[in-house]
Copies of this chain bind each other. A is one copy, B any other.
Amino acid sequence: MASELTELEEAIGTLVKNYDKYATRGFFSRKRGISKDSFQKMVSQELHHALMHTEDKQAIDDLRQTYDKNQDGLIRFHEYWTLMGSIAMSHLSTMEEPEKDDS
What residues of chain B lie closer than 8 Å to A16, measured between beta carbons? 88, 91-92, 95
A5 to B51, CA, bound (A): 12
Considering only CB atoms and an 8 Å cut-off, how many residues of chain A contact the other chain?
Answer: 38
**Segment 14-39 of A: residues with Cβ below 8 Å from B:** 14-20, 32
A89 within 8 A of partner (CB): yes
A6 to B84, CA, bound (A): 14
Contact of B9 with A47 in the complex, beta carbons under 8 Å? yes
CB distance from A38 to the nearest CB of B (A): 14
Name A residues whose Cβ lies closer than 8 Å to a Cβ of B.
Answer: 1-2, 4-20, 32, 45-50, 77-78, 81, 84-85, 87-89, 91-92, 95-96
